[in-house]
């Protein structure tokens, strides 16, 4: 041998140093801070569904203007798939329609909700733990929101887990 004395490790020498333990705790803390809320929070689902509802309302308004027809957005309040939006259209021309608006055939959405079972092309369903509430909306051929009684305009609101979507008198969706 070369004359150096090699010390054998004993049970007392085995283990981690304080620096190694602190480094591991810091890494675990950062991961817990960043990763865990993404898996436990429904905030992403809420915001995503909020944007989908807003987009569906805008699509219904634009369709009413482009087709010169009344378009109905029926809001079924509820949590999860029980809360949904259904979009239908009145087939009568506005000048021929002297009675209340009657929306019949379903209007296909560009991207229907995948939370609906079965998937319906004219419905948008809320994800689990997301609450949908608010008023049903009818857009007239000018894109103005009206109630079921023809010509009664007003400000309407839809909310997704407390996040509001307001439809103003002029049809602006905020």
CA 116 from chain center: how many Å? 13
The per-residue pLDDT for 114 is: 64
Is the pLDDT confidence value at 164 over 50?
A: yes
pTM surpassing 0.85? no
User: pLDDT > 90: what percent of the chain?
Assistant: 10
Domain covering 43-167, topology = minor pseudopilin epsh fold (3.55.40)
The per-residue pLDDT for 27 is: 93
Higher local confidence (pLDDT), 22 or 40: 22
Given pLDDT bands bounded at 50, 70 and 90, which one contains residue 5?
A: low
Higher local confidence (pLDDT), 115 or 24: 24
Would you list the DSSP string of the chain? --SPPPPPP-TTT-S--HHHHHHHHHHHHHHHHHTHHHHH--HHHHHHHHHHHHHHHHHHHHHHHHHTS-EEEEEE-EEGGGSEEEEEE--S-TTT--SS----SB---SS--TTSSS--TTEEEPPTT-EEEE--EEE-TTS-EE-SSTT-B--EEEEETTEEEEE-TTS-B-
For the ranges 21-35, 60-74, 147-161, the lowest mean pLDDT is seen at 147-161
CA dist 144 and 155 (Å) reads 10
Higher local confidence (pLDDT), 133 or 148: 133
Mean pLDDT to the nearest integer, 22-29: 93
- Rg of the chain on CA atoms, in Å: 28
The tens digit of pLDDT for each residue in 73-123 reads: 988 898 888 888 889 998 877 776 667 778 888 888 877 666 677 777 888
CA dist 148 and 173 (Å) reads 19
């Amino acid at each position: 041998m070369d004359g150096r004395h090699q010390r054998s490790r004993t049970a007392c020498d085995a283990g981690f140093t304080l620096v190694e333990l602190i480094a591991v705790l810091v890494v675990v803390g950062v991961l817990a801070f960043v990763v865990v809320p993404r898996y436990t929070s429904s905030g992403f689902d809420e915001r995503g569904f909020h944007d989908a509802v807003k987009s569906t309302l805008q699509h219904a308004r634009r369709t009413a203007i482009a087709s010169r027809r009344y378009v109905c957005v029926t809001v079924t309040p509820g949590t999860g798939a029980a809360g949904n939006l259904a979009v239908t259209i009145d087939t009568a021309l506005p000048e021929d329609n002297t009675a209340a608006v009657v929306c019949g055939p379903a209007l296909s959405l560009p991207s229907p909700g995948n939370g609906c079972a079965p998937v319906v092309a004219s419905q948008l369903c809320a994800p689990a733990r997301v609450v949908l509430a608010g008023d049903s909306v009818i857009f007239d051929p000018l894109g103005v929101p009206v109630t079921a009684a023809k010509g009664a305009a007003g400000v309407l609101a839809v909310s997704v887990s407390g996040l509001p979507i307001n439809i103003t008198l002029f049809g602006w969706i905020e």
